Chain A
Amino acid sequence: MAQIRALRRMASLLTTPLAPEDFLALVNPLASTRQLRGVVTKVVRETADSTTIHFHPGRGWNAHAAGQWARIGVEIDGVRQWRSYSLSAAAGHDPAITVTAIGFVSTALARDTKVGDILFLNVPQGDFVLPAHPRPLLMLTAGSGLTPVMSMIRTLVPRRPDADVVLIHSARTAADALFRDELLELADQFPGLTVRHWYTREEGGRRLDLTDPTDLETLCPDWRSRAAYACGPSDFLDAATELWEHSGDDGQAQLTIERFAPVLLPGTGGAGGLVTFEKSDKEVEAGGDVPLLDAGEECGVVMPSGCRMGICRSCLTPLVAGKVRDLRTGEVHGDEGELIQTCINAAAGPVHLDI
């Protein structure tokens, strides 16, 4: 290792102001450690609008724990775009993401990704992970919310004979249900896994009702005694949270949730203002409902970010002057030098950021 470092130091004498990796990148795009990249190794169409993308990460990647997510960067029309995706592969395997096409980036990822493409990456993070000690589990998922749970199931079920997992997955139709065949096979093969599909748009289908425990009691009578994990759309998670809060009378019931989108207070936006990114020497006029993160990216500032929904704090940026509005609460705040979460704060008047 020391020899490699010495060699690198010598080589950099010849390549300055660039690094030796910049030249190695001519032949191997994964050579750069300054920007973590992965090369796509396999693309699998899962349903009509979702695709699993397997990739081999370059140096600097950390192995993921089942249930974690990573920030994925992709170039669309020449512009780098970042979004977060749960890693659907089992822990210990090369990572994969399963993307459902619902918007700008997800559609491009799901439709256009080819084997050999380069993805930009950030290391896995998140604490939506399996419990430290074995316990009976209940997984409650809807739509693309199955992805982190799929990683947990793939990691746990085949390896632990003592696993006891009940999965309740809601999808529109059987054809829309992610990983359906694999899940049914796993359930066949391993007694520790029970899979209950719930279809909302099949004949006689309706939404899973979480406003009272009736549906749950039918699907999984001992749900209260299980460690529960939920991931899905906001309203689904809101209902689950409420149900667990009210039914956990013995204090036993435990629910861990993972959100894919922030809970924003509707109509919090005010007038906005001129946002100045001082180090980058850029200015943008941004509306009062535009996260500062989006505003910065729009004018070409390389903004730090992670979840883009106010949970990971990767986006913290020092405020130089001005006030910002928290889009989740509507609160206007901002002291000089305060670290601002740019993904969930918008300008409330002119704002200067130290980036």
Chain B
Amino acid sequence: MSAFLRTWAVAKKDMRVYYLKGPVIIFGLLFPGFLFLAFAIGRDLPAESLAPGLIAMALFFTSSAVTPAVLPFETRTRTLERLLAAPLSLGMLLGGDVLAAFLFGLFVSLIPALVSILFITSTPPRLGLLAVTLLLSALTYAILGMLFSSPPTDNPSSVMTISNLVRLPTIFFSGVFVPISHMPAWGKALAAFSPLTYTTEALRAALGQETYFPVSLSLLMLCLFAAGLWAVSMALHRRNMSRRLWM
């Protein structure tokens, strides 16, 4: 209980300090919004088929926007050493950052999700599945953002650059705009390695659309990605954390 309260204290601090930072707003909200508009406008696609992709993009970009900003800013503003001196394990410290990023992604993504089920889609949604997909996806991408911030730098924009280098190509082979089933064989193979694929697939199922992968597989893969990314991220941060003290 005490461990959770301390983790929560870290998350609250992140919400106060980092939710409104420039890079978070730009790369977490504006950027995916414009990207989606650029793709959707001028094409004669039915809104219904775009809805899962819209929600998936929102989840992907918003949930992975906060965590990359936190540690570089803590390094630069010299607030990190005090946190490291506090009685927190590395898991509690990173867990608090992930929690703040998770909540940011979850709540922002609720907007396109609600708009979709209220105004766009005609088939009744599977609400339970929708909720589970939102939760699992927001968690996975919050952890992915944590991984992006593992290089020991005090420059938030260089972390944002790394993160966009990975995030941008990912959306093109994850069934966001074009469903997996319509992709060529090599596209399908590539898509299997992207966590975003499983979010889009699970969302299609939740909104009553056809899917390529079975729902249970999509949810399982999201869990595996979350666990795997967490393990790698912990290992890298453990190695790099004390190097941040001299930045």
**Does B associate with A?**
no
A positions within 8 Å CB-CB of B? none
B positions within 8 Å CB-CB of A? none
